[in-house]
Structure 1
Amino acid sequence: MTSICQGKDSWPELVGVSAREAVKVIEEENSLVTAIIVFPGQPIIGNFSCARVWVFVNIFGKVNRVPVIG
């Protein structure tokens, strides 16, 4: 799948790591994005943005979905 966004666009290797570590890795590997932690039940904006990565975490603060640009 080809992304319209620049740089790395997904981080499957981060599933299971802490939210803070995931944010650090994402923003180091693609300086064009801001990683945003999303806790269970927290609403998110529905629009697509090449400058944003949602980092969904479980109640223990561990990444539970593959972070992707969007």
Structure 2
Amino acid sequence: MPSRCLQVEQGKTSWPELVGKTGECSAITIENENLLVNTIIIQQGTIIPSIYMCNRVLVWVNDEGLTIRTPRIG
């Protein structure tokens, strides 16, 4: 049986089409397209540890709540 990371990464792993969408819309879309990941909406400028987690997708948003980076697994 493949590892948890391999199972997650067999699905969609990045969502460039969501840049410019609201963070909430991005999070819902991501979790609908890859049921094995959890999304976290992060405000631009927030400092977080750079730890790779294969079941996590960070959705970076600006002050208007719009996605500013391509969300990807990690």
What is the aligned-residue identity percentage? 46
Q: Per residue, is there more helix in 1 or in 2? A: 2
Quote the residue 1:53 is aligned against. Answer: 57
Q: If you compute each CA radius of gyration, which structure gives the higher value, 1 or 2? A: 2
Give 1:45 shift: 2.6
* Length-normalised TM-score, structure 1: 0.89
Report the number of matched residues: 67
Moved segments of 4+, more than 4 Å: none
1:68 to 48, 69, 72: 72
Superposition pairs of residues 17-56 of structure 1, within 5 angstroms: 17-56=21-60
Give the match's secondary structure for 1:69. coil
Quote the residue 2:20 is aligned against. Answer: 16
Structure 2 unpaired stretches of 5+: 1-5
Give 1:19 shift: 0.5
Structure 1 unpaired stretches of 5+: none
